[in-house]
Amino acid sequence: AGRMPSLGGPGQTATTTFDLGCSLLGPAEVAILLQSGLAAVPQGRQVQQNQRMLLEILVSQPPLFLKGVLYELSNNGSSRVLTTHLLALLDLAQDVVRSHARVDVADL
């Protein structure tokens, strides 16, 4: 959890706490890795497993972490870019991953 000083004025000591979870990867790193996996032309076994693990990281973190990843995927606020990445995630290939280990991306 990070702390940011309040912008209320001099002498005020109130702070705001941001819970970004406990992942070794931050939202920017997860977004970059998701993008690289989606851009891989042959989405083989390793790419599919990596994408699955990244999605599990997303689900296990607090909502602010997910918002950060979505913001990074949006290329700093572009709804068109975010939509493209989200549609690519819906079409994520999982044919090499065992059926019991597949992630239903639409439910996320």
Taking a C-beta distance cutoff of 8 angstroms, is the pair 93, 38 a contact?
no
pTM above 0.85, yes or no: no
CA angle 67, 37, 69 (to 5 degrees): 10
Mind listing the pLDDT tens digit for each residue in 5-41? Answer: 555 555 555 566 667 678 889 999 999 999 999 998 8
Mind listing the pLDDT tens digit for each residue in 56-80? Answer: 899 899 999 999 999 999 998 899 9
Q: What is the DSSP letter of 91?
A: T
Q: How far is CA 25 from CA 28, 29, 48, 54, 78, in A?
A: 8, 6, 18, 10, 23
